[in-house]
Amino acid sequence: MPASRCRALAAGRGMTLIEVMVAMAVMSMVAVTIWTATSQTARTRDIVEASHDRLHQVRIAFDMLSRDLSSAFLSMHRATLEPVRDTVFIGTDHGTEDRLDFAAFAHQRRYLDVKESDQCEVGWFVAADGEVSGRYNLVRRSSPIIDLEPLEGGQNLVLVQDVVEFDLEYFDLQMNEWQDEWDTTEFTGEQLRLPHQVRIRLVVNDRNGRPVTYASQVGVPMRTPIWNKTFTNPGEPVVVTR
């Protein structure tokens, strides 16, 4: 057979079965490598996003609680004939689930001509999750109306999910010691005051269920009650006549 004829037959010959199998094996290895890298990148992205979301929740909660405590106040301006409002600072110790309710200049009006001011009732506590059994969340309660029920009313906002511990301590400057509770309804006369500082400890589960502890300490600038020196004495309510 002439050489030119052999070259023509070789040029028109297709791939053998072994060559096809080798090519498929190489393509499969490349596909597996690409899928592994893509799935690992997706898992890493999910881990980073979950960690970032949890840190964002904790950061927002500490910022809001610090702002609330920095604007906490007590007022002696109360009507004695028909009292309709009262300002308190009540921090109760419930082990790992403390609660704090107080009045603060922390409200922002969002609607025109609404009958609200910068004063509001604020509450911080731990509540059970309504969707996941056994999970607890850190909740902030806010009411633009200060009334005679300082522990009720307003709207609740879940700030941090899967909370293990929420512990608060209050520094008494006069006694020079930290206390687990602070209740202004038990104070009288010149004893009525707010704590000098509040120590915050928050323990939250991470994505793997391991507890992570966050802590901070916030000062309370307005520690003495607001009252009018011209008409009243400290500890005495304002008398409103018709």
20-51: pLDDT as tens digits: 788 788 888 888 888 877 777 767 666 667 67
Mean pLDDT of the chain: 84
Query: What φ, ψ does residue 126 adopt, rounded to 5°?
Result: -105, 130
Residue 240 pLDDT: 40
The number of folded domains in the chain is 2
Please tell me whether residue 61 adopts helix, strand or coil conformation: helix
Residue 93 domain-assigned? yes
**143 and 77 fall within a common domain:** yes
Q: Specify if 238 maps to a domain.
A: no
- The first and second tokens of residue 74, run together, are 């007590």
Co-location of 155 and 213 in the same domain: yes
Structural domain includes residue 234: no
149 against 111, higher pLDDT:
149
Tokens 């911080």 -> residue: 124
**pLDDT for residue 242:** 32
Q: Does one domain contain both 88 and 24?
A: no
Residue 239 pLDDT: 44
176 and 119 in a single domain? The answer is yes
Choice between 113 and 218, residue whose per-residue pLDDT is larger: 218
Banded model confidence at residue 110, pLDDT cuts 50, 70, 90: confident
Do 101 and 186 belong together in one domain? yes
106 and 2 in one domain? no
Same domain, 34 and 60: no
Question: pTM of this prediction?
Answer: 0.74
Question: Which amino acid makes up residue 60?
Answer: I
CB count within 10 Å of CB 236 equals: 13
What tokens does 172 get? 């008494």
| Residue 9 belongs to some domain of the structure | yes
Same domain, 22 and 82: no
Mean predicted confidence (pLDDT) in 216-230: 84
Question: Is the domain of 113 the same as that of 85?
Answer: yes
- Find the domain containing 26 and state its range: 1-41
Residue 241 has what pLDDT?
A: 36
pLDDT value at residue 167:
97
Q: What is the mean pLDDT of residues 178-186?
A: 95
Mark whether 171 and 59 lie in a shared domain: yes
Cβ atoms within 10 Å of 94's Cβ, excluding its own? 13
21 and 80 housed in the same domain: no
d(CA 47, CA 14) in angstroms, rounded, equals 49
Give the other-Cβ count within 10 Å of 117's Cβ. 12
Task: Please report whether residue 205 resides in a domain.
Answer: yes
pLDDT band of 232, cuts 50, 70, 90: very low
Residues 66, 149, single domain; the answer is yes
